[in-house]
């Protein structure tokens, strides 16, 4: 009788789980590829009722990447812009809030995707960090989005780049600009809106 290779067996099981979960995500986000052909009202309803809730960052990144590739359209890279070194503190209306997550150096986006807002600077009265929004236009200085919920639901809002601190030594530090957003087809359970009417599907890997 041959001995069962437990490591290989567990690897195969994990691959099967990943394949099944990926299939589930594609079923939940059915017809995602043609969402930009729908009226904005229907696009908002589509995303309001769909969310993949994940238990770790790796799963979030994997699902967001898969579903972004599914969406038809031009892939635009939002690149972190360095502002250079400055001395001392430089308060500015466009400076990111200290308590919010810093966005990635390169953010891949497509018109018609759903984003999460990491920082509500400039929109404090009607947006909260981690609110989900529909991306309707990509402009040089701003992203035009429509909130999925709240008093501004369905209205156009402009999300601008914010200033983020980089490396700092003594009183000298480097600053950069980036849009405070990330893809939100999938989110960590701790960041998902518990009150939203969503089809939340738990995604587990490993």
- DSSP code for 33: G
116 within some domain: yes
35 domain-assigned: yes
Following CA atoms 82, 83, 84, 85 in sequence, which dihedral angle do they give, to the nearest 10 degrees? -120
Q: Bridge partners of 146?
A: 134
Handedness of CA 96, 100, 105, 106 (dihedral sign): negative
pLDDT of residue 71: 93
Structure tokens at 81: 């812009």
* Distance of alpha carbon 125 from alpha carbon 114, whole angstroms: 21
Q: What is the DSSP letter of 5?
A: -
Residue 202 C-beta-side C-alpha neighbours within 13 Å: 4
Task: Give the chain's domain count.
Answer: 1
Domain that holds residue 181: 6-203
Among the listed residues 74, 56, 15, the one whose alpha carbon sits nearest the alpha carbon of residue 186: 56
The tokens 């980089």 sit on which residue? 166
- Is 1 domain-assigned? no
- Helix/strand number for the chain, H first, E second: 3, 13
Q: Which secondary-structure segment (H or E) carries 13? A: helix 6-28
Residue-by-residue pLDDT tens, the chain, 206 positions:
445 555 564 555 456 556 555 666 666 787 888 899 999 999 999 999 888 888 788 888 988 998 999 899 999 999 998 886 554 555 555 888 877 888 999 999 999 999 999 998 888 888 999 999 999 999 988 999 999 999 999 999 999 999 988 766 555 677 889 999 999 999 887 776 654 444 445 444 43
Q: What does the pLDDT read at residue 197?
A: 42
């Amino acid at each position: 009788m041959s001995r069962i290779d437990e490591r290989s067996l567990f690897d195969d099981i994990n691959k099967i789980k990943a394949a099944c979960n990926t299939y589930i995500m594609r079923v939940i986000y059915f017809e995602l590829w043609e969402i930009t052909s729908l009226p904005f009202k229907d696009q908002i309803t589509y995303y309001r009722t769909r969310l993949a809730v994940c238990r770790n960052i790796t799963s979030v990144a994997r699902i967001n990447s898969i579903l972004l590739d599914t969406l038809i359209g031009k892939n635009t890279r939002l690149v972190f812009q360095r502002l250079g070194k400055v001395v001392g503190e430089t308060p500015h209306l466009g400076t990111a809030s200290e308590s919010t997550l810093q966005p990635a150096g390169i953010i891949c986006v497509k018109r018609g995707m759903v984003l999460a807002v990491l920082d509500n600077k400039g929109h404090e009265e009607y947006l909260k960090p981690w609110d989900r929004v529909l991306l309707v236009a990509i402009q040089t200085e701003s992203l035009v989005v429509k909130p999925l919920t709240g008093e501004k639901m369905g209205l156009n809002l402009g999300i601008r780049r914010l200033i983020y601190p980089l490396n700092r030594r003594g009183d000298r530090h480097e600053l950069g600009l980036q849009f405070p957003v990330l893809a939100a087809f999938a989110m960590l359970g701790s960041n998902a809106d518990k009150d939203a009417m969503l089809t939340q599907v738990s995604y587990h890997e490993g």
